[in-house]
Amino acid sequence: MAANTSDKLQQLKELLAEVTDLSRAAALLEWDQETYMPPGGVQSRAEQLSTLLRLSHVRFTSDEVGRLIGELEDELGGRPFDSDEASLVRVTRRDYDQARKLPPDLVAEVARAGSVARPVWEKARHDENFGLFAPYMEKNVELNRRIADAIGYEDRPYDALLDRSEPGMTTAQLEAIFAELKKAIVPLIADIARHADAIDDRVLYRGFDPDLQVSYALGVVKRLGYDLERGRQDKSTHPFSTAFGPGDVRITTRVSRDFFNECLFGSIHESGHAMYNQGMGHDIDRTPLWGGASPGVHESQSRLWENLVGRSQPFWRHFYPSLRSVFPEPLQGVDEEGFYRAVNRAYPSLIRVEADEVTYNMHVLLRFELENQLLEGTLKVKDLPEAWNALFKSYLGLNVPNDREGALQDIHWSYVSFGIFPGYTIGNLIGAQLMEKIHTDMPDLDAQIETGQFASLLGWLRKNVHRHGRKFTPNELMERATGQPLTAAPWIAYVQRKFGALYALHAGRY
Ligand code: ZN
């Protein structure tokens, strides 16, 4: 007797639950590697991770999963688009096809190329010598092209790579958005540079006790809504957030005595990621629907809390008195307004990960343009540093002194990974687009933040973003939450308003 629909759905869910468990176990091993594992554990850990990830991949790409998806697609055709069942089958189909399209030989070659190129990239970066790395970069460009060909695309090869990380986004959509950003932000950056002395941020470097910083930051993220019954905070060299299920979503942080921003804003950022995971529906747990809609949407949640909340005036009206009582000495003689201004200082800088809110997207735009040119063959790898430096000058007004602070700065190009960078800008834009809608829905939001109340804000995000997990593509999610697909206008209006005021730029122009 043939199995009925609900039996098949049950079978598919059981298989997918095993796949999820295997990849979550791998994620826990990775968390341990970054936090507590002794240096001697590297070799065994690499083997354990590779075994778990291979098992999870084999199980997921099995013919049985493919057969069940195919049959369920026919049988569930009438269910509503946003129902758990229809969404499960739709999203699993997308993941399954992508995983099956890449031939195992290509996957192995990509992994090998990455591990061979990484140490060469480190040496080239250290020696400030792009030429050393160029042959490996050539190989990576070629492999990115082969991945794009294997996945397939209609218009631009970048579309195939982008669709893997930001489903439904196209190169053309991003080009239009980036053109809008460039037009508005390049002149704003130049204007801010002319008024650079309007903000003095020396207070941030006065020396803050590291242990007190960590405990203060933890207190803040608890207040925002990060649930420590289902989470914890540890230290690591590179801060991150990771989730092993709805009941265990962790963050890490790092702390510097000499630079205040790192620990507090890093912790708020990671807790933004973590609150997203903590808010995902239990009913979609252990399925491909449980997770971030895309890296860009995930980043929107961290940036929203870090920048639109954590770097806002109402936030500091609430928190500055307590910060001052914890750090009376370094904060001596600095009032709440002065501190708010200090944490918002904007200035063109060479390194993406250190960039402020205004200049950050220009770092991303430049990489997006260069990746496209490399992929389409209009830029040769040997000419990359020169092209980098020219774009840098025109977007940020700075001369790049060497390749270490130029084309060799990011780890991303040391492995095969084109199509990742746009997610950072998509995150900034989504954060602002959501916030604009939130302000309309909750006109007293600033007053709530000023009195330290964040529950309604978190509730809005849970209802409109978090609980859906991966059910919708980024554009679908934004349509549902704000009434339109991804757009740059709210972010542009936000930075023009905020930084126009901070830097006293010509009234009316912004
Ligand atoms: Zn992040």
Ligand 1: centre distance to CA 371 (Å): 21
The pLDDT-based confidence of 288 (bands split at 50, 70, 90) is very high
Q: Where are the domains of the chain?
A: 5-156, 171-502
The pLDDT-based confidence of 253 (bands split at 50, 70, 90) is very high
Whether 1 shows a pLDDT value over 70: the answer reads no
Find all residues with CB under 8 Å of 30, minimum gap 6, and list them: 49, 242
The pLDDT-based confidence of 112 (bands split at 50, 70, 90) is confident
Ligand 1: centre distance to CA 15 (Å): 30
Ligand 1: centre distance to CA 271 (Å): 9
pLDDT score, position 2 = 61
DSSP 8-state code for residue 244: S
DSSP 8-state code for residue 487: -
DSSP, residue by residue, 45-61: HHHHHHHHHHHHHHHHT
pLDDT score, position 107 = 86
pLDDT score, position 507 = 53
Q: Residue 200's closest CA among 401, 339, 103, 2?
A: 339
What are residue 241's DSSP bridge partners?
251
Mean pLDDT along residues 393-417: 93
pLDDT score, position 43 = 85
Q: Measure the CA–CA gap between 156 and 434, rounded to whole angstroms.
A: 29
pLDDT score, position 237 = 86
Query: For residue range 386-402, what is the model confidence (pLDDT) as tens digits?
Result: 999 999 999 999 999 99
Whether 117 shows a pLDDT value over 70: the answer reads yes
Mean pLDDT along residues 349-365: 94
Instruction: Report helix, strand or coil for 437.
Output: helix
Fold of 171-502: Neurolysin; domain 3 (1.10.1370)
Ligand 1: centre distance to CA 269 (Å): 6
Q: What is the mean pLDDT of the chain?
A: 95
The pLDDT-based confidence of 78 (bands split at 50, 70, 90) is confident
Whether 265 shows a pLDDT value over 80: the answer reads yes
Whether 435 shows a pLDDT value over 90: the answer reads yes
Ligand 1: centre distance to CA 7 (Å): 39
Whether 144 shows a pLDDT value over 80: the answer reads yes
Query: For residue range 156-189, what is the model confidence (pLDDT) as tens digits?
Result: 999 999 999 999 999 999 999 999 999 999 999 9
Q: Residue 8's closest CA among 62, 69, 57, 63?
A: 69
Query: For residue range 444-471, what is the model confidence (pLDDT) as tens digits?
Result: 999 999 999 999 999 999 999 999 999 9
Ligand 1: centre distance to CA 273 (Å): 7
The pLDDT-based confidence of 308 (bands split at 50, 70, 90) is very high
**Residue 501, both tokens:** 């005021």
Query: For residue range 199-241, what is the model confidence (pLDDT) as tens digits?
Result: 999 999 999 999 999 999 999 999 999 999 999 999 998 899 9
Q: Measure the CA–CA gap between 132 and 115, rounded to whole angstroms.
A: 16
pLDDT score, position 362 = 95
Whether 332 shows a pLDDT value over 60: the answer reads yes
As assigned by CATH, the class of the 5-156 domain is: mainly alpha
pLDDT score, position 506 = 72
Q: Measure the CA–CA gap between 16 and 112, rounded to whole angstroms.
A: 28
pLDDT score, position 221 = 98
Rounded CA Rg of the chain: 23
Q: Which helix (H) or strand (E) holds 242?
A: strand 241-243
Ligand 1: centre distance to CA 302 (Å): 6
Instruction: Report the catalytic residues.
Output: 270
Mean pLDDT along residues 347-364: 93
Query: For residue range 266-281, what is the model confidence (pLDDT) as tens digits?
Result: 999 999 999 999 999 9
The pLDDT-based confidence of 509 (bands split at 50, 70, 90) is low
Query: For residue range 35-66, what is the model confidence (pLDDT) as tens digits?
Result: 999 989 988 988 898 899 889 999 999 999 99
pLDDT score, position 105 = 86
Mean pLDDT along residues 314-319: 98
Mean pLDDT along residues 24-37: 94
What are residue 250's DSSP bridge partners?
242
What percent of the chain lies above the pLDDT cut of 70? 99
